[in-house]
Chains A and B, each alone.
Chain A
Amino acid sequence: MSEYVIEMNHIRKEFPGIVANDDITLQLRKGEIHALLGENGAGKSTLMSVLFGLYQPEAGEIKKNGEVVKINNPNDATALGIGMVHQHFKLIDVFTVLDNIILGAETTGALGFLKKKEAREKVMALSEKYGLKVDVDAKVEDITVGMQQRVEILKMLYRDNDILIFDEPTAVLTPQEIDELMEIMRGFAKEGKSILFITHKLNEIMAVSDRVTVLRKGKYIGTVNTKDTNKQELSNMMVGRPVQLELKKKEATPGETVLKVEGLTVPSKIHKNNAVNNVSFEVRAGEILCIAGIDGNGQTELIFGLTGLEKASAGTITLCGQDISKASIRKRALAGMSHIPEDRHKHGLVLSYTLEQNLVLQKYKEPRFQNHGFIKFDEVRKYSEKLIKDFDVRSGQGPITVTRSMSGGNQQKAIIARELDRNEPLLIAVQPTRGLDVGAIEHIHNQIVAERDKGHAVLLVSLELEEVMGLSDRILVIYEGEIVGEVDPKKTTPEELGLYMSGAKRQEEGGKADA
């Protein structure tokens, strides 16, 4: 019997043009919680997909209990007792919880008819035993993200998996829910199940894991015992250079009100309730106001309502003294609003356009770029070359690069270049660092702070608590479409924020809108 239940030795996985995993070794002991640490794009998800049979490695071997195994597809992985909670849940929205759990592992009677009764009993029993509360008959689209995650965990348990992979499981949870999850994971380990815990959050690793394996840029850096290491060492291993864990910025000097929102209400597209309900706040020049909250609590709709991407059903929006409540998207932008959108592929860029075409996405109608409806291509080129230089946007062919072929970080840089260069008094930035590596995150954070120091107002929406705490001057917490609290980042704690985010705590009057 081998010391390890799972060994992945010298795994190499290539994609066209890149090596995602280069000679990576990962050994998992029975009954341990093993953290896999690395930045976005370090190759963690790829490695786990190899283990789960979603990708075939170009080189290397996988052993289960010391014996070499071949995992060609998820069925093989399941047969070996390997289960995975994916970062982006693999659930069918319109199916019920029960259907989602049994899908792919159904019990059937004659002619392939489904036998759901036994399945239901088994799910209920599992749910009871591990304290994973779910509503088996609800449709997945109607349940909370936290419950969706419990469904994913039940899927693994239903298949009697004993090697459990958790891919960035905490990204969508409140601090309290994270604690609960950790408890559940410890329980699994105690039962003898082995856990692979993928994350880039150091606190969680220190709190729950036994050992840590670190990856960087597709390469294996090392494996250490958690109790023999510390956060700084881990972060150095992860990034490859000393990282400043805290952002340095001056005290904010708020000036006049730039954006004033009163009673904004945006109907939901999915539910009968309003996605944003009677929200009021102000953003002032020279401050960063952050909207914090768990994903799906109305942040997206709030920003859509502000920018005009969706129609608000009530409320007024005043930008620089101008009422823009009913204005078109373009009029709002011209009134002094720039917007780094949440989804850079959906809203931020026309991916099949070239970089220069994307850089003038709002500006092509300005007289400097057009003459009687004909585009001045020379001017567009000159302008884009300047932006590319100033903001260090890297691409294969400069202005004529098709943006689809650019890296995520440079796509984001291009959007930020475009928006910051518009030099508007209000900057709305929604999850501006999502999916980027530490270097890019630092760079973007510094640019946002610089924008504030220029005397512009910044409205930031972020799901990352660290970003919220580090970057903002003032925090509003949104829960189920309502502002439930206003806190000062210097005086609050993640735990307090978590209570607001989960709806457990709430200030009267939705947190007085600014002083």
Chain B
Amino acid sequence: MPKKDPVTGKLKWYKSEGAVSVYSALISILIGMAVGSIIVIIVGMTKSNISTSGVWDGIRLVFLGVFSTGRDSAGQLSFGFNGVNIGNMLFRAVPLIMTGLSVAIAFKTGLFNIGASGQYLMGTMGTLSVGLWLGWTGCPKGIAWLLAFLVGVLLGGLWGAIPGIFKAYLNINEVITCIMTNWIAANLVTWWFDAHESFKNAAEGGKVGYIIPLKNVGVVTPKLLMDKIFAGSQANGGFWIAILIAVAMWIMMTKTTFGYELRACGANRHAAKYAGINDKRNIILSMAIAGALAAAGASLYFLSGNTEFYWSTYQKLPAEGFNGIPVALLAANHPIGVVFSGIFMSMLNISGLQLKYLTAYNEYIADIIIAVIVYLSAFSMLFKTVLSKKIKHDHGNVNAEPEGTEDEDAPEENPKEIASAETEEGGQK
């Protein structure tokens, strides 16, 4: 078998499963952007106020929005290194990376955390309240920062544990409970801020309805060189913290017994239970960690200082929560991959804003592209299967079968077993 390394028996790195995941993610991205471009073209052709050059501008911004430097004196789009855009991209990537991690860790345990929005809101509430309160009491800023962050994370973790408890003890689908807890969180948070006038930004005109930003009390994340690299942008040290957390998650999932347990529960809860792993505890812990991560995203976002929170949120859930889903899917739930896909999603958002400012189009084209990518990642297994077949077609026993079917209740009806039993006979001959 020429495709395998003769020493380790492993496939070469560019043919490994991880590489295949990357290829399939890239395919999804390309198709997503192509769909976005097609919409740009179609709309451009049907709208009289958009010229051919307007369409061309739109397409270029879909792909290269983050490198846009505005329009030159002749009114043409110009491109180049835009420190503000790129810095803002990294800044906005932080909550996406964190909610992406949240969804990914839950996924690895076999849970679909669609409740990141609610957890994010709980984190927002905890961080803003503690940050402002400690800021006013004159607590040392470093300690205030840490406590604000930790309380936010803790609240998110507790909130995430609720669907976990429902799942573990009552076997209620976490998707439904997550959606319910999202809306409950939205109401709770609004209620909390509505009842605490002191948190509301009454000083600045036009900022009614917003919570006082944390920079007013000086509880902010240090820049950690980001202001030097991307001068003028909102980027700060939160980005480095997000990367650290992602690496920690990767180590936790792949190197520790705890990660082994979580993944075992996710891949086959019954087998995990059989092996003596406390499946209930792991499910709750997994959701709590997921909740904490989503909340950490909110904490880091608002601890940047200059971000503002519109507190009357009971009718609208924060988009960051749902956008964690495509981030995780695109990264095939790999914690390190999440960093890259988070940055990519953030880039799409920046592109969307460029479209809004510089063309007759609007920012929702980015959301469409993201939705298309999620749609495609739903059958990324198909891409992977096709790619894997191409790569390993001469590699005997690797049946290209979708994952996650082992929980079938009647494995004897499972043709895989019949097929493989027959393989055995053939193979041992």
Q: Which positions in A face B, CB cutoff 8 Å?
A: 15-20, 39-43, 45, 88, 217-218, 307, 309, 328-330, 333, 339, 341, 343-353, 357, 361-362, 364-365, 370, 373-375, 394-398, 400, 404-411, 434-437, 439
Which residues on A sit within 8 Å (CB–CB) of B216? none
Expressed in whole angstroms, the Cα–Cα distance for A439 and B425 within the complex equals: 10
Contact B276 A333 (CB under 8 A): yes
Nearest opposing residue in chain B for A372, CB measure = B256
Contact A43 B9 (CB under 8 A): no
Q: Contacting chain A: which of B56-64, B262-270, B282-290? A: B262-270
Partner of A218 from the list B264, B276, B422 (CB cut-off 8 Å) is B422
A351-B267, A362-B275 known; A217 and B412 CB under 8 Å? no
A462 to chain B, nearest CB (A): 15
Q: Is B426 an interface residue (CB 8 A)?
A: yes
Q: Is B409 an interface residue (CB 8 A)?
A: yes
Contact B420 A407 (CB under 8 A): yes
Contact B426 A218 (CB under 8 A): yes
Which residues on A sit within 8 Å (CB–CB) of B416? 404
A364-B260, A408-B417 known; A396 and B274 CB under 8 Å? no
Expressed in whole angstroms, the Cα–Cα distance for A410 and B257 within the complex equals: 26
Sampled A-B contacts (5; CB under 8 Å)? A16-B400, A307-B274, A351-B268, A374-B255, A407-B423
Contact A407 B256 (CB under 8 A): no
Contact A435 B421 (CB under 8 A): yes
Q: A405-B420, A435-B412, A437-B424 are in contact. List 16 more A-B contacts (CB 8 A).
A: A15-B419, A18-B423, A40-B421, A45-B418, A329-B275, A329-B276, A350-B272, A352-B404, A353-B264, A361-B275, A394-B428, A404-B399, A408-B417, A408-B421, A435-B418, A439-B428
A345-B408, A350-B267, A398-B9 known; A329 and B421 CB under 8 Å? no
Contact A346 B411 (CB under 8 A): yes
Contact A353 B267 (CB under 8 A): yes
A-B complex: 7 closest residue pairs judged by Cβ atoms? A330-B276, A407-B424, A345-B411, A41-B421, A408-B421, A347-B274, A351-B406
Q: Is B273 an interface residue (CB 8 A)?
A: yes
Which residues on A sit within 8 Å (CB–CB) of B425? 39, 41-42, 217-218, 437
Nearest opposing residue in chain A for B265, CB measure = A350
Nearest opposing residue in chain A for B420, CB measure = A407
A16-B399, A353-B267, A397-B9 known; A346 and B257 CB under 8 Å? no
A373-B257, A374-B255 known; A350 and B424 CB under 8 Å? no
Contact B271 A404 (CB under 8 A): no
Nearest opposing residue in chain B for A332, CB measure = B276
A243 to chain B, nearest CB (A): 15
Contact B411 A375 (CB under 8 A): no
Q: Is B10 an interface residue (CB 8 A)?
A: yes
Contact A329 B273 (CB under 8 A): yes
Chain A interface SS verdict (over half): loop
Expressed in whole angstroms, the Cα–Cα distance for A343 and B276 within the complex equals: 16
Interface residues on B, range: 35 or more
Contact B421 A375 (CB under 8 A): no
Interface residues of B in 375-429 (CB under 8 A from A): 395-401, 403-404, 406-414, 416-429
Q: Is B278 an interface residue (CB 8 A)?
A: yes
Q: Is B258 an interface residue (CB 8 A)?
A: yes
A17-B399, A43-B422, A374-B256 known; A348 and B274 CB under 8 Å? yes
Expressed in whole angstroms, the Cα–Cα distance for A329 and B275 within the complex equals: 8
Interface hub of A333, A347, A407, A409 (most chain B Cβ within 10 A)? A407
Which residues on A sit within 8 Å (CB–CB) of B427? 394, 407
Contact B423 A17 (CB under 8 A): yes
Expressed in whole angstroms, the Cα–Cα distance for A345 and B407 within the complex equals: 8
Which residues on A sit within 8 Å (CB–CB) of B256? 373-375
Nearest opposing residue in chain A for B427, CB measure = A407
Expressed in whole angstroms, the Cα–Cα distance for A333 and B413 within the complex equals: 30
Interface hub of B277, B419, B425, B429 (most chain A Cβ within 10 A)? B425
B3 to chain A, nearest CB (A): 12
Contact B274 A339 (CB under 8 A): yes
Expressed in whole angstroms, the Cα–Cα distance for A345 and B417 within the complex equals: 9
Nearest opposing residue in chain B for A358, CB measure = B271
Which residues on B sit within 8 Å (CB–CB) of A43? 422
Which residues on A sit within 8 Å (CB–CB) of B10? 397, 400
A364-B260, A394-B428, A408-B421 known; A346 and B397 CB under 8 Å? no
Interface residues of B in 58-88 (CB under 8 A from A): none
A248 to chain B, nearest CB (A): 24
B355 to chain A, nearest CB (A): 41
Contact B417 A435 (CB under 8 A): yes
Expressed in whole angstroms, the Cα–Cα distance for A404 and B423 within the complex equals: 13
Interface residues of B in 13-61 (CB under 8 A from A): none
Contact B424 A346 (CB under 8 A): no
Nearest opposing residue in chain A for B413, CB measure = A88
Contact B260 A375 (CB under 8 A): yes
Expressed in whole angstroms, the Cα–Cα distance for A370 and B261 within the complex equals: 13
Which residues on B sit within 8 Å (CB–CB) of A374? 255-257
Which residues on B sit within 8 Å (CB–CB) of A361? 264, 271, 274-275
Contact B271 A362 (CB under 8 A): no
A345-B414, A375-B257, A435-B421 known; A17 and B397 CB under 8 Å? yes
Contact A346 B255 (CB under 8 A): no
Contact B421 A346 (CB under 8 A): no
Nearest opposing residue in chain B for A396, CB measure = B397
Which residues on B sit within 8 Å (CB–CB) of A42? 425
Expressed in whole angstroms, the Cα–Cα distance for A397 and B397 within the complex equals: 10
Expressed in whole angstroms, the Cα–Cα distance for A407 and B9 within the complex equals: 19
Contact B9 A375 (CB under 8 A): no
